[in-house]
Structure 1
């Protein structure tokens, strides 16, 4: 994190500065970039009715402020050879979240990791080539993590990313 994004916290430590409020133009820019991450500065500027310099500055500020984390491709997992998907819940040893998270990040099948409240501690979204690979992921690799106490697998029959209307 850049030094200008940090402020003195309690007891002399560093803390993040509070997020800047986003105005309607920033919201429109975010919606447009979520729909088309490859949109040119010119098309963004035209769509939100600002100059190209203003659009460029706003996008850079959104990146610097950590609002925009990056740009990427939306993938059809089935066409990419990862036709089996599942949500997997994990119960983990208390206070082991950071350790478990690092081990989960190393698994290429994992698309999303969330620490949650409720009957389980962690929710994963995974994509594998088939059910045999899914079984291996759950029974061999996830359950071999010492801090994982139990797992539950929910097969995904169909999925769709919800994109903003553009």
Structure 2
């Protein structure tokens, strides 16, 4: 991949529905060039698909956080089931290292987030936790561009 491919992917991450003519204008390339590059990137598997974000994805729960949880004994499966049933829990990830589970949280307010954190901390088997607020989310750029 060259710089034009990386720039094309970056533009698609910003707006996956942008017309080829608009992408061409932004990237100062011809529409034919952009169309060929897009088709090649898809054929090579560099672009695996496109994702739609709904209004709910970006506005319904503006307060977001990651909660890392340490679990006592073998209660991870039981706690994971309870967590996935909570409306404020967007995802539960098992992991290695210091934390057993990482939970993605989304709420409408800081006080609601505080209530959810308190509820989770009081679950049987949760022995320690750490929560970080997500202040901004940006799409990651291509790994190859980061290595340059």
SS at match of 1:38: coil
**C-alpha distance in 1 between matches for 2:100 and 2:40:** 34
Of 77, 83, 99, the residue aligned with 1:120 is 99
Say if 2:14 is the partner of 1:38.
Answer: no
- Aligned counterpart, 2:131: 154
Question: Is 1:84–1:134's contact at 8 Å kept on the other side of the alignment?
Answer: no
Say if 2:51 is the partner of 1:71.
Answer: yes
SS at match of 1:152: strand
Alignment of 1:132-147 (within 5 A): 132=112, 135-136=115-116, 139=119, 143=123
- Aligned counterpart, 1:3: none
**C-alpha distance in 2 between matches for 1:56 and 1:135:** 49
How far the C-alpha of 1:38 sits from its partner, in A, is: 3.3
How far the C-alpha of 1:57 sits from its partner, in A, is: 3.7
TM-score normalised over the length of structure 1: 0.52
**C-alpha distance in 2 between matches for 1:62 and 1:121:** 37
How far the C-alpha of 1:45 sits from its partner, in A, is: 2.3
TM-score normalised over the length of structure 2: 0.56
Question: Is 1:83–1:128's contact at 8 Å kept on the other side of the alignment?
Answer: yes
Q: Which has the higher contact order (CA 8 A, sep 6+)?
A: 2
> Alpha-carbon deviations, 1:101-141, whole Å to 9, x = none?
x987776534565554431033233111343466357736x
Alignment of 1:15-30 (within 5 A): 22-30=1-9
